[in-house]
Amino acid sequence: MDKPSIADTERELVEEFALFDNWLDRYQYIIDMGRQLPAFPESGKTEEQKIKGCQSQVWLVTTAKGGCLEFQAISDSAIVSGLIAILMRLYSGRPAREILAAPPGFIAAIGLDQHLSPTRSNGLHAMLGVIRSAAARCAGT
């Protein structure tokens, strides 16, 4: 079965978050998502893979496979790990051009722009920047 589009995945995420009445429950859901991240190779924890602009430590490894990008990431923060899980669900395994064509509307739709601390918001945008830059390189733009 084909993977749903980024837009469809965003809609699913927004619907999932709408099930929670308050932000405490949403934060817990984000943390739980982060706990489901696959194991991250220790060899990926290098300075080159470390995301600049994050208060917590975040490593993100990008692999191009046939025009699609695979991402692996990990953080030492539970909330940031959950944000990584959201980004991986949206962008990992996608064609570079689809990533570039999909604005990150989920941030406002879920309410992350209003409920993340400024440092976590900066980190989220730094991770998005790395993902989009990798997509631009892969797409040759």
- The set of catalytic residues is 54
Question: Helix or strand or coil: residue 141?
Answer: coil
DSSP sequence for 42-96: GGG-STTTBPTT-SS-EEEEEEEETTEEEEEEEESSHHHHHHHHHHHHHHTTEEH
CA 6 vs CA 11, 85, 91, 141: distances in Å: 9, 14, 7, 20
